[in-house]
């Protein structure tokens, strides 16, 4: 089923950083909605989704004037002090429609003219490698972070069947890393994985951060519990993974694998920090 696409005009494009990203001054979302429609996505329980008639994943609003508004918002924000951006907190800036609109790319071009102090770019789409040339121009002011919540494709398909395959994400992240751009592999939310997962991530990113439903959905896991995620774990026979201590096991594996590598491992909010 093709998603419902709608062009909208926004009054502002920078939103003050709050909650899990309050260590950033602002979030930046080129789109509203996301066709990847991951079953665990906490945005499903936020007003932008709850007050919409269509199912999350079936619609996308395109902020057609985003680049024009960003230029004004950035100038205004920079007058007040350092500007650090999280892009994006409630959508994927490189979901399929970006192939056609180039909206995210246009925002990056504006940010090269009026540079923020730091940009954390979060995606799960291999399309992100299209903009390697732009990322290089930001030098140390940008971090490209790829969501890789598991290394098991059967698990990925159960939780996010419309999202890009894990091997494609890993390949794209490695290519960006090899281009000399600061990268992060983001295990968020942590899903059941293999013992080889840490070693695989070690080869493709400069940093690794791990998060889970209880730390990362903004409500201590309450939003996630309303989504029926636990039932998916049961269907897979992996219910032991659905608990707030599972991340500690994988975190220990990561730290053991990465010891002496110089690759830092972050946890939840601190792992996304601009510093």
DSSP assignment string, 187-245? E-S-----TTHHHHHHTT-SEEEE--HHHHSSSTTHHHHTTTHHHHHHHHT-GGGSSTT
CATH number belonging to the domain at 4-272, selected among 3.80.30.30, 3.40.50.2300, 3.30.390.30, 3.40.50.1820: 3.80.30.30
3-state secondary structure of 151: coil
* pLDDT tens-place values along the chain, 275 residues long: 688 999 999 999 999 999 889 999 999 999 999 999 999 998 888 777 777 888 899 999 999 999 999 999 999 999 999 999 999 999 999 999 999 999 999 999 999 999 999 999 999 999 999 999 999 999 999 999 999 999 999 999 999 999 999 999 999 999 999 999 999 999 999 999 999 999 999 999 999 999 999 998 888 888 888 999 999 999 999 999 999 999 999 999 999 999 999 999 999 999 999 97
- Are the C-beta atoms of 226 and 45 separated by less than 8 Å? yes
**What is d(CA 218, CA 168) in angstroms, rounded to the nearest whole number?**
29
**What is d(CA 217, CA 199) in angstroms, rounded to the nearest whole number?**
27
- Secondary structure element (H or E) that encloses residue 143, with its range: strand 142-147
Tokens representing 254 are: 């990561």
**What is d(CA 138, CA 136) in angstroms, rounded to the nearest whole number?**
5
Q: What integer pLDDT is reported at residue 207 of this predicted model? A: 97
Tokens representing 263 are: 């690759």
- Are the C-beta atoms of 140 and 110 separated by less than 8 Å? no
Q: What integer pLDDT is reported at residue 179 of this predicted model? A: 98
Q: How many CB atoms lie within 10 A of CB 220?
A: 13
3-state secondary structure of 46: coil
Please state the φ and ψ torsions of residue 86, each to the nearest 5 degrees: -110, 115
Q: What integer pLDDT is reported at residue 215 of this predicted model? A: 94
- Are the C-beta atoms of 23 and 17 separated by less than 8 Å? yes
Query: What burial letters (b/e) apply to 118-129, b meaning 16+ CB within 10 Å?
Result: bbbbbbbbbbbb
How many residues can be counted in the chain? 275
Q: How many CB atoms lie within 10 A of CB 260?
A: 5
CA dihedral in degrees (72, 76, 77, 79; nearest 10)? 140
CA 87 distance to own-chain centroid: 8
Question: Which pTM was predicted?
Answer: 0.95
């Amino acid at each position: 089923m093709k998603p419902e696409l709608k062009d909208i005009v926004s009054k502002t494009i920078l939103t003050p950083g709050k909650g899990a990203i309050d260590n950033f001054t602002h979030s930046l979302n080129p789109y509203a909605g996301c066709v990847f429609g991951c079953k665990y996505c906490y945005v499903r329980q936020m007003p932008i989704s709850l007050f919409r008639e269509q199912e999350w994943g079936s619609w996308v609003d395109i902020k057609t004037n985003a680049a024009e508004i960003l230029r004004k918002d950035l100038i205004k924000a920079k007058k007040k002090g350092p500007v650090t951006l999280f892009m994006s907190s409630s959508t994927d800036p490189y979901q399929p429609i970006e192939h056609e609109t180039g909206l995210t790319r246009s925002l990056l071009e504006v940010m090269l003219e009026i540079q923020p102090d730091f940009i954390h770019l979060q995606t799960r789409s291999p399309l992100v490698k299209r903009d390697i040339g732009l990322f290089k121009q930001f030098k140390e002011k940008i971090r490209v972070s790829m969501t890789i919540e598991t290394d098991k494709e059967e698990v990925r398909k159960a939780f996010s069947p419309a999202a890009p395959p894990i091997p494609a994400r890993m390949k794209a992240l490695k290519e960006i890393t090899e281009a000399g751009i600061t990268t992060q592999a983001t295990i968020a939310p942590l899903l059941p994985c293999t013992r080889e997962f840490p070693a695989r991530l070690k080869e493709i990113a400069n940093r690794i951060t791990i998060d889970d439903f209880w730390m990362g959905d903004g409500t201590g896991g309450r939003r996630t519990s309303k989504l029926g995620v636990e039932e998916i774990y049961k269907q897979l026979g992996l219910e032991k993974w659905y608990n707030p201590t599972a991340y500690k096991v994988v975190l220990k594996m990561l730290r053991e694998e990465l010891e002496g590598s110089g690759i830092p491992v972050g946890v939840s909010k601190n792992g996304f920090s601009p510093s």
